[in-house]
């Protein structure tokens, strides 16, 4: 069964040889977030294109830590580091992997949400496709450990005493997740003050679905995602009246314009210095590393939304199948979907 195979590969205990790295899980509030971290780490070699075998990593029996085969993890990172150092092809491959993983994950999330919000239970295969795509996308974040360590020192002299320009060069071209969230929060506050009640209630419900889950780090998002909690936050933002909300919106727009101007200036300086001081393969490699650094920065920003969106969707599924998200395992959720579809439970050897 494909379902059992996924659990064997990414969640079943495996032997750890040699030295291990230990990650503290005390801040994790649910089993599903701990299991997704293990699946993500096991995905590392495959996500990098550095091997087909999952990385050895286990949640400890008391669930307080995740132990990882240190030599295997370093070998996977070293393979990517070597590829990046060899020329621009390695960075281009990384960029393609970021793009493909994001597209696949967003598509899987949309398919899953359409079914669950319609009051139906997705198939086990659909849920596992979503979990697998999420693990793949999160695993790519480890590419930040593979970027050449001298990238910033090499670029710093080009920007003299303006380090903010170097940060702007390596930042994504688009707006940050925080700026989008803030803009929508202020729009909600403005409608609360000025709009008719039905329009506000409709906007509040849409905000909750699209953005409310970002107010948390784990399953704790549910307390702050409720409509009363979001309404209270909108009231706080608008406590000084419509003019103050408008002023906050104006300051946000000005900050975004300033950020875009800074990014354009940084990119212009980079292009000018590149033409003057580097050529051929050296220039191509440097450009590819800058583009990959930007992609990594964008990935870290998007990862928060995608990780919390998954928890929101699993919350919806848990409610539909009458499970408790704090204690449910990924296997519980998959088997609940299978029960709706009339499938047999997963075999015992596939459990974690």
* Among candidate residues 74, 62, 61, 59, the one with its CA nearest the CA of residue 22: 59
Size of the chain in residues: 352
Task: Give the mean pLDDT of 285-308.
Answer: 92
82 DSSP β-pair partners: none
pLDDT-based confidence at residue 35 (cuts at 50, 70, 90)? very high
For 24, the enclosing helix (H) or strand (E) is strand 20-24
| CB atoms near residue 334 (< 10 Å) | 25
Distance in angstroms (rounded) separating the CA atoms of residues 9 and 351: 10
pLDDT for residue 85:
86
Within its chain, how far is the Cα of 219 from the centroid? 15
> Could you tell me what percent of the chain has a pLDDT over 90?
67
Tokens of 37: 């971290």
> Could you tell me what percent of the chain has a pLDDT over 70?
95
Distance in angstroms (rounded) separating the CA atoms of residues 209 and 260: 29
pLDDT-based confidence at residue 350 (cuts at 50, 70, 90)? very low
pLDDT for residue 281:
63
CA distances (Å), origin 226, targets 169, 191, 222, 289, 307: 38, 18, 6, 42, 19
User: Is the pLDDT reported for residue 267 higher than 70?
Assistant: yes
pLDDT for residue 163:
86
Distance in angstroms (rounded) separating the CA atoms of residues 179 and 254: 12
What confidence tens digit (pLDDT) does each residue in 316-348 have? 999 999 999 989 999 999 999 988 766 666 654
What confidence tens digit (pLDDT) does each residue in 138-151 have? 999 989 888 888 88
3-class SS of residue 65 = strand
User: Is the pLDDT reported for residue 11 higher than 90?
Assistant: yes
User: Is the pLDDT reported for residue 1 higher than 70?
Assistant: no
| CB atoms near residue 73 (< 10 Å) | 20
Distance in angstroms (rounded) separating the CA atoms of residues 168 and 110: 32
Distance in angstroms (rounded) separating the CA atoms of residues 136 and 105: 9
Task: Give the mean pLDDT of 166-178.
Answer: 92
* Among candidate residues 244, 214, 218, the one with its CA nearest the CA of residue 229: 214
Question: 162-171: long-range contacts at Cβ-Cβ below 8 A with a sequence spacing of 24 or more?
Answer: 164/262, 165/262, 165/265, 165/266, 165/269, 166/266, 168/259, 168/262, 168/263, 168/265, 168/266, 169/263, 169/266, 169/267, 169/269, 169/270, 169/290, 170/290, 170/293, 170/294, 170/297, 171/263, 171/294, 171/297
Task: Give the mean pLDDT of 247-261.
Answer: 96
Output the CA torsion sign for 341, 344, 350, 352. Answer: positive
Output the CA torsion sign for 338, 343, 345, 349. Answer: negative
pLDDT for residue 342:
63
pTM: 0.89
Domain layout of the chain by residue ranges = 2-146+321-350, 177-275
Tokens of 209: 């679905």
DSSP-derived letter for residue 67 is E
The answer to whether 53 and 82 have CB atoms below 8 angstroms apart is no
Mean pLDDT of the chain: 90
Question: 265-268: long-range contacts at Cβ-Cβ below 8 A with a sequence spacing of 24 or more?
Answer: 265/165, 265/168, 266/159, 266/165, 266/166, 266/168, 266/169, 267/169
pLDDT for residue 259:
95
What confidence tens digit (pLDDT) does each residue in 102-155 have? 999 999 999 999 999 999 999 999 999 999 999 999 999 989 888 888 889 989
The DSSP-derived string for 251-279 is: HHHHHHHHHHHHHHHHHHHHHHHHHHH--
* Among candidate residues 241, 238, 213, the one with its CA nearest the CA of residue 225: 213
Burial letters for 11-22: b for 16+ Cβ neighbours within 10 Å, e otherwise?
A: beebeeeeebee
């Amino acid at each position: 069964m494909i379902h059992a195979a996924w659990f064997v590969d990414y969640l079943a205990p495996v032997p750890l040889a040699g030295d291990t790295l230990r990650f503290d899980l005390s801040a994790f509030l649910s089993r599903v977030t701990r299991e997704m971290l293990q699946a993500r780490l096991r995905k590392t070699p495959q996500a990098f294109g550095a091997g087909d075998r999952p990385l050895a990593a286990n949640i400890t029996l008391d669930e307080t830590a995740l132990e990882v085969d240190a030599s295997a993890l370093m070998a996977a990172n070293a393979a990517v580091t070597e590829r990046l150092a060899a020329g621009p092809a390695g960075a281009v491959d990384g960029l393609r992997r970021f793009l493909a993983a994001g597209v696949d994950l967003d598509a899987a999330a949309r398919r899953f949400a359409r079914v669950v919000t319609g009051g139906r239970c997705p198939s086990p295969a659909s849920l596992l496709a979503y979990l697998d795509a999420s693990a793949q996308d999160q695993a790519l974040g480890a590419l930040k450990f593979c970027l050449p360590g001298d990238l910033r020192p090499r670029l710093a002299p080009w920007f003299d005493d303006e380090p903010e320009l170097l940060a702007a060069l390596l930042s994504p071209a688009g707006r940050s997740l925080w700026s989008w969230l803030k803009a929508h929060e202020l729009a909600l506050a403005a409608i609360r003050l000025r709009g008719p009640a039905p329009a506000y209630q409709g906007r509040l419900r849409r905000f909750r679905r699209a953005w409310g889950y970002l107010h948390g780090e784990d399953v704790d998002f549910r307390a702050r995602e409720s409509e009363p909690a979001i309404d209270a936050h909108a009231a706080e933002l608008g406590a000084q009246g419509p003019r103050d909300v408008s002023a906050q919106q104006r300051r946000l727009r000005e900050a975004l314009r300033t950020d875009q101007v800074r990014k354009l200036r940084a990119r212009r300086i980079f292009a000018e210095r590149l033409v003057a001081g580097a050529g051929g393969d050296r220039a191509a490699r440097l450009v590819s590393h800058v583009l990959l650094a930007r992609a990594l920065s964008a990935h870290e920003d998007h990862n928060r939304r995608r990780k919390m969106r998954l928890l929101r969707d699993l919350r919806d599924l848990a409610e539909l199948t009458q499970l408790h998200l704090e204690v449910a395992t990924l296997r519980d959720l998959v088997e609940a979907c299978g029960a709706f579809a009339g499938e047999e439970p997963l075999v015992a050897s596939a459990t974690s």
